[in-house]
Amino acid sequence: MALIIQKYGGSSVGTLDRLRHVAKKIKQTRDQGHDVVVVVSAMYGETDRLIQLAHALTAEPDPREYDVLVSTGEQVAVSLLAMALITSQCPARSYTGHQAGILTDKNHTKARILDVETDVIQYDLSKGEVVVVAGFQGRNERGDITTLGRGGSDTTAVALAIALKADECQIYTDVDGVYTTDPHLIQDACLLQKISFEEMLELASLGAKVLQMRSVELASKYNMPIRVLSTFRDGPGTLVTHEDKTMRNRLISGIAFSREEAIIALSGVPKQIGIEGRILGDISNAHIEIDMIAQNATSKDTADFTFTVSRKDYPKTLKLIDNIAKELGASTNSSAKVAKLSMVGIGMRSHAGVASKMFKCLGDAGISIQMITTSEIKISVIIDEVFIEKGVQILHQAFDLDKVSSVSMSNIE
């Protein structure tokens, strides 16, 4: 008998029929003799609807009240799922994150889980009940409801798996596992049998929303493997786990993309010590996160300074930058219609030439690169948003990701 954590995402519980199907799967697992703790997201589209409601009322919703509002989607889903389980003769109890003992820091809308009090869950498990926990939420030290950021139910599941020392952490979703790129964009994308925590962390942070970044961070820190599976089709799914030799043989594991980007360039910035801090100071004081940054000298006395921010922060950032540009006598050039395209693979650590091949492929296709960043296992470029699909397609083919089981270092040539 094992303790299994199963997380079902919004599309898996989008309708009552789907909820019934999920209840059947949970009951099957319990009937096999396992203890089951289930984490559920809000029904498909519900969190978006709640966020729109808040923004229809006010441009800047109060963060505490925003969390009270958006956490309700999960409360609806857990109660309905528990009812469906009870109706099918499977004893179950639902809890909000607060009731289930998910303790977080005080950062409303993007809180981090600090601890999990497991007494309630363990008591119910000892009585043979399935415990259904609302994902994406917890409580801070004041007892206020907090939420964990979009996609946060994945993190709830991993945190529970760690706290309860579960035998398996299964994340059920609407695709068969982790693919070489988003299978909804590229039909030839291949299902990966295994992927390392490190690669999955990069892919998730660069736009592959199949797992929330923080869930992978947590899983990696506590060495808790995650299996990503389809709710609707049987199959082995993908194991996200620590690195092994077979993974190192793969040059590129995946391509991620994000359309949520905006680029801002300042030209003719006077060369002064500390000028970079001056430019970015007001932006970070406004709690806007900067992603990529590049600076290059354009003459003896001036430089160009370019950076990217999330598209939702673009209007606010532009206002701040326009003021700074005036003060410095610099000019601005910006666009909110850019996207980030990234290739990730631990094979890059030991093999050169990936970047040049990537840039050549994009160049040959007439796609101009506006910015580049690299790390040991990833290369990201900013391109015009209209080219994102074409760019992913070209790179996916050029690096043989449509035949991923046979991909090896020789594919660089």
Q: Which stretch binds ligand ASP (CB under 6 A): 13-21, 148-156, 181-189, 292-300?
A: 148-156
Phi/psi-derived region of residue 119, left when phi > 0, alpha when psi is between -120 and 50, beta in every other case: alpha
Q: How far is CA 20 from CA 84, 124, 341, 349, in A?
A: 6, 22, 38, 46
The C-alpha atoms of residue 217 and residue 201 are separated, in whole angstroms, by: 7
CA-to-CA separations, 211 to 162, 208, 272, in angstroms, rounded: 17, 7, 42
* Shortest distance in whole angstroms from residue 209 CB to Mg ion: 6
Q: What string marks each residue from 241 to 270 as x (binds ligand ADP by CB under 6 A) or -? A: -------------x----------------
Q: How far apart are CA 243 and CA 196, in angstroms?
A: 5
Question: Which positions from 18 through 77 interact with ligand ADP, judged by CB under 6 A?
Answer: 41
The total of other beta-carbon atoms located within 10 Å of residue 249's CB is: 12
Q: Which listed range, 115-123, 176-184, 264-272, 313-321, lies at the site for ligand ADP (CB under 6 A)?
A: 176-184
Q: Which amino acid is at 371?
A: M
Closest CB 178 distance from ligand ADP, rounded Å? 5
3-state secondary structure of 33: coil
| Contacts (CB under 6 A) with ligand ASP, residues 38-57 | 41-42, 47
Q: Which is nearer to Mg ion, 132 or 171 (CB)?
A: 171
Answer yes or no whether residue 181 interacts with ligand ADP by CB under 6 A.
Answer: yes
- In angstroms, the CA 162 to CA 21 distance is 27
Q: Which of helix, strand or coil describes residue 285?
A: helix
**Shortest Cβ distance from residue 179 to Mg ion (Å)?**
15
Element at 330 (helix H, strand E):
none
Rounded least distance, CB 326 to ligand ASP, Å: 39
Maximum pairwise Cα distance, the chain: 78
CA–CA gap between residue 205 and residue 263 (Å, rounded): 18
Partner from Mg ion, ligand ADP, ligand ASP, none binding residue 343, C-beta < 5-8 Å depending on class: none
Among 97, 151, 237, 254, binds Mg ion (CB under 5 A): 151
The reply on whether position 152 binds ligand ASP by CB under 6 A is: yes
Instruction: Give the nearest residue (CB) to ligand ASP.
Output: 153
Report if residue 208 touches ligand ADP, rule: CB under 6 A: yes
> What span, in angstroms and rounded, lies between the C-alpha atoms of 90 and 30?
8
- With contact defined as beta carbons under 8 Å apart, do 329 and 361 qualify? no
Site for ligand ADP (CB under 6 A): how many residues?
A: 19
Q: Is 10 in the site for ligand ASP (CB under 6 A)?
A: yes
Indicate the helix (H) or strand (E) that contains 395. helix 388-398
- Distance between CA atoms of residues 257 and 172, nearest Å: 22
How far apart are CB 93 and ligand ASP at their closest, in Å?
A: 21
Could you say which of 182, 198, 199, 261 contacts ligand ADP (CB under 6 A)? 182
- Tell me which stretch binds ligand ADP (CB under 6 A): 155-163, 171-179, 272-280, 384-392: 171-179
- Residue ranges that bind ligand ADP, judged by CB under 6 A: 9-12, 41, 151, 173-175, 178-179, 181-184, 208-210, 254
- Residue ranges that bind ligand ASP, judged by CB under 6 A: 9-10, 41-42, 47, 73, 135-136, 150-153
